[in-house]
Amino acid sequence: MDNVITATNLTKQFGHFTAVDQISFEVERGEIFGFLGANGAGKTTAMRMLCGLSKPTSGIGTVAGFDIHTQTEKVKKNIGYMSQKFSLYDDLKVWENIELFGGIYGMNDQDIKVKTDKLMYELNFEKERNMLVASLPLGFKQKLAFSVAIFHQPQVVFLDEPTGGVDPVTRRMFWEMIYKAAENGITVFVTTHYMDEAEYCNRVSIMVDGRIEALDSPKNLKAHYSAKNMDEVFQKLARKSQRKE
Amino acid sequence: MVKCIDLHKSYGQTIALQGVSFEVNAGEIFGIIGPDGAGKTTLFRILTTLILANQGSATVNGFDVVKDYREIRKCVGYMPGRFSLYQDLTVEENLEFFATVFNTTVEENYELIKDIYQQIEPFKKRRAGKLSGGMKQKLALSCALIHKPTVLFLDEPTTGVDPVSRKEFWGMLKKLKAQGITILVSTPYMDEASLCDRIALIQKGKFLSIDTPLNIVNQYKNQLWAVRSMNMSKLLNDLRSNKSFENCFAFGDSHHVSIENKKLEIKTLEEYLLKCGHTDIEITEIQPTIEDCFMEISKDTTL
């Protein structure tokens, strides 16, 4: 099996508090993997470890073939990252953002130029190319942020609540971009609070109090918990939480 | 309780509100539902007397938002979208501060906030800045309620909040409504619409529709089908590439196809999909959700 992410007993403690408690799972190449959990369940901490930003207290993990303890710089080079909170620089133009991120990920100028032209055409963004990101509508920003996150063709892209706040049509168009990226072989690791989006994932894990309480395809999870949708599955599992914030 | 007539507001070139009129009845939970940038926050700021409209008028509790702003500030509670309490004061200090500002005491109105505040009371010595998201939300709501307002304005209280905490929060709102408080609440989550007595769908500074959630659903005129097959991604492409079924979007575990102006047989779609090579095809006629309605009503204005 071609796994892009592996985690074995991955744990993170802050003092006496175990934020992530021995989680183990694999994500296959090209898979859309939904990483769900209530606020405070440990999702962000787990994601930070997988992105090479936070050292695990114990347990092992690899991302894009690199060790998340010892090869964090290589991990960072081979992943893309986007979140609702931070993605692009508002005070740079569209093309400047692309050039900046392309450069950070070590792409050469020629590649950046050719790919920028192609991307502007695909997104139908030729008019916006010279605009400041601050002046773009939110839906445009999100599309651009996602495109920038996968611009260097990473093996895996981490999306941390990417779709908050946009209108229903834009939210769906965004997911169609995610599908397309996955079809092009980019593995997608995504967190969301929209339970209908959980249905779009090949597999979903649900974290409760630092542990992975369930992991399967949405179809199997619904069958297993006799739930009619993922919201019910989530409500059943997350209500078990003992954690007092 | 709240009445707006033809409100307009622009920030330079950017138009935030373009002619919003509506009324909110006493004791109602009134939801304002729409995406970021639709004008929700601007509307709340005008009604809570924090900014002035360019045109139009509004009253809250019978008071004019321009002339009687002092009276309005006494009788409304406002929870802004961004956490706006004092991060370096403790939970308890924040609550006391807001009580004092409104010439009251925590004890006097404790009954009203008891259910909510008790959940964070064990942490009352903690600084507000050190609270988790869910706890901040409960503290902000407690502070907005401590002077016993008659109208409560909640600007996106559940954004970024997980589904379990969201459900809890709506439970709290129901209890406040039972105590006679009128609530205006904005949200980008369409599934929360059904929890309101009436809703306004807002997009690009305009109200698209104001009604009960049930009536909005009943006014949906198209045929609506939920469609599934083994390969959902190919299914979406195949549906889009057929003129009759191109109005379709992913909705969780199925795709919703809406068909305007004409009656089609499910059989027609089934035959088409078989020809495209799909297996395990399931097509069912369904009732629209608020999200289906929003997408239909806003069709001409979305990007």
Best mutation site among A167, A170, A175 for testing chain B: the one with the most B CBs within 10 Å?
A: A167
Interface A–B counts its CB contacts (< 8 A) at: 99
Residue of B293 and A167 predicted with greater confidence: B293
Q: What residues in A contact B159, CB-CB < 8 Å?
A: 164-165
- The answer to whether B171 contacts chain A (CB < 8 Å) is no
Residues B227, B172: one domain?
Answer: no
| B125 shares its domain with B246 | no
Enumerate the β-bridge partners of residue B187: B33
B201 falls in which pLDDT band (50, 70, 90)?
A: very high
Backbone angles phi, psi at A178, to 5 degrees: -65, -45
Q: What residue type is B173 in one-letter code?
A: L
Distance from CA of A37 to the nearest CA of B (A): 8
Shortest CA gap B72–chain A (Å): 29
CA dist., res. B221 & res. B244, Å (int): 16
Strand segments, DSSP code E, in chain B are 2-11, 14-24, 29-33, 55-60, 63-64, 76-79, 151-155, 182-187, 198-203, 206-211, 223-228, 248-251, 254-259, 282-285
Nearest beta carbon to residue B160 from set A164, A179, A241: A164
Among residues B123, B116, B215, the alpha carbon closest in space to that of B168 is found at B116
Considering only CB atoms, B252 lies closest to which of A183, A229, A235, namely A229
Residue B253 touches chain A, beta carbons under 8 Å: yes
Residue B173, helix vs strand vs coil: helix
Q: A139 touching B, CB under 8 A?
A: yes
What CA–CA distances, in Å, run from B259 to B242, B247, B266?
12, 7, 11
Q: Are residues B14 and B48 in the same domain?
A: yes
CA distances to A185, B8, B209 from B206, in Å: 41, 10, 9
- Find chain A residues with C-beta within 8 A of B133's C-beta: 39-40
Per residue in A229-244, pLDDT (tens digit) is: 999 999 999 888 877 5
Which chain B residues are closer than 8 Å to A183 by Cβ? Answer: 233
Whether residues B43 and B134 fall in one domain: yes
Contact A172 B249 (CB under 8 A): yes
Structure tokens at B84: 């706006």
Give the per-residue pLDDT at A72.
95
Indicate if the alpha-carbon torsion angle B68, B73, B79, B80 is positive or negative. Answer: positive
Q: Which residues of B114-147 are buried (b: 16+ CB within 10 A; e: fewer)?
A: eebbebbeebeeeebeebeebbbbbbbbbbbbbb
Higher pLDDT, B183 or B302: B183
| Residue owning tokens 């694999």 | A26
- B227 inside domain: yes
Residue B281 lies in a domain: yes
CA distance B67 to chain A (A): 34
pLDDT digits (tens, 9 = 90+) for B127-147: 999 887 778 889 999 999 999
The arithmetic mean of pLDDT across residues B50-74, rounded, is: 95
Whole-number average pLDDT of chain A? 92
Half-sphere exposure of A209 (CA within 13 A, CB side): 8
Beta strands in B131-261 (DSSP E): 151-155, 182-187, 198-203, 206-211, 223-228, 248-251, 254-259
Q: Which residue has the tokens 């003129």?
A: B243
pLDDT for A244: 58
Does B81 contact A at CB distance below 8 Å?
A: no
pLDDT of residue B286: 93
Does residue A80 have a pLDDT over 60? Answer: yes
- If asked whether residues B202 and B138 sit together in one domain, one would say yes
**Span A102-160, pLDDT tens digits:** 999 999 999 999 999 999 999 998 899 999 999 888 888 889 999 999 999 999 999 99
Confidence of residue B301 (pLDDT cuts 50, 70, 90): low
pLDDT at B214: 94
The residue to which tokens 């071609």 are assigned:
A2
Of B162, B188, B303, the CB nearest to A39: B162
Q: Give domain limits for chain A.
A: 28-54+72-238
CB contact under 8 A, A38 and B165: yes
Whether B163 and B245 share a structural domain? no
Residue B303 confidence (pLDDT): 41
**Chain A CB contacts of B131 below 8 Å:** 245
B64 backbone φψ class: left, alpha, beta (φ>0; ψ -120 to 50): beta
- pLDDT score of B76 more than 70: yes
Under 8 Å CB-to-CB from B122, ≥6 apart: which residues?
Answer: A244
Residue B95 in domain: yes
- Which chain A residues are Cβ-neighbours of B139 within 8 angstroms? none
Q: Among residues B231, B219, B242, which one has the least CA distance to residue B297?
A: B219
Q: Indicate which CATH number applies to the domain containing B267.
A: 3.30.70.100
Under an 8 A CB cutoff, do A195 and B252 touch? yes
Question: Do the Cβ atoms of A196 and B203 come within 8 Å?
Answer: no
Same domain? B212 vs B243: no
Percentage of residues in chain B having pLDDT higher than 90: 72
Give residue B159's domain range: 2-217
Closest in A166, A193, A241 to B163, CB measured = A193
Structurally, chain B folds into a number of domains equal to 2
- Judgement on whether residues B258 and B272 belong to the same structural domain of the protein: yes
- Is the per-residue pLDDT at B10 higher than 80? yes
Side-chain half-sphere exposure of B116, counting CA atoms within 13 A: 30
Q: Does residue A210 belong to the interface with chain B, where contact is any CB pair within 8 Å?
A: no
CB B82 within 8 A of CB B155: no
Give me the CATH number covering residue B180: 3.40.50.300
**What pLDDT score does B300 carry?**
62
For B188-225, b where at least 16 C-beta lie within 10 A, e where not — what string?
bbbbbbebbebbbbbbbbbbbbbeebeebbeebebbbb
Q: Chain A contacts of B162, Cβ < 8 Å?
A: 37-39, 193, 238
Asked whether residue B297 is domain-assigned, the answer is no
Q: In this predicted model, what pLDDT tens digit does every residue of B208-230 receive, in sequence order? A: 999 999 999 999 989 999 999 98
Mean pLDDT of A214-225: 95
Do B121 and B249 sit in the same domain of this protein? no
B140 with B249, same domain? no
Instruction: Confirm or reject contact between B250 and chain A (CB < 8 A).
Output: yes
Q: Helices A138-149 and A94-104 sit at what angle, rounded to 10 degrees?
A: 20
- If pLDDT is split at 50, 70 and 90, which confidence band does B19 have? very high
Nearest C-alpha in A relative to B191 = A194
Instruction: Give backbone dihedrals phi and psi of A110, rounded to 5 degrees, phi first.
Output: -65, -50
Show the tokens assigned to B303: 């990007």
pLDDT band at A245 (very low <50, low <70, confident <90, very high): low
Locate B192 and state its tokens: 């929360």
Q: Report the alpha-carbon distance of residue A126 to residue B98 in Å, rounded.
A: 51
Looking at the DSSP assignment, which residues form a beta bridge with residue A133? none
What pLDDT, in 10s, does the model give residues A162-211?
A: 887 778 888 898 998 998 999 899 999 999 988 989 999 999 999 999 99
CB contact under 8 A, B167 and A166: no
How much is the pLDDT for B134? 79
CA A122 to chain centre: 22
Helices and strands in chain B: count of H runs, count of E runs: 10, 14
User: Does residue B145 sit in the same domain as residue B244?
Assistant: no
Separation of alpha carbons B289 and A231, rounded Å:
15
Q: Classify A28-54+72-238 by CATH class.
A: alpha beta
- Cβ atoms < 10 Å from Cβ of B62: 12
- Strand B282-285 and strand B182-187: the pairing is unpaired
Alpha carbon distance A142, B215 (integer Å) = 33
Residues 209-238 of B with CB under 8 A from A: 233, 236
Interatomic CA distance for residues A51 and A5, integer angstroms: 11
Q: Based on the domain organization, do B123 and B34 belong to the same domain?
A: yes
Q: Tell whether B15 lies on the interface with A, counting CB pairs under 8 A.
A: no
Q: What angle do CA A103, A104, A110 make, to 5 degrees?
A: 15
Contacts of A170 in chain B (CB under 8 A): 35, 302-303
Cβ-defined contact of A196 to B251 (cutoff 8 Å): yes
| Phi, psi for B234 (deg, rounded to 5) | -65, -35
In a domain, B296, yes or no: no
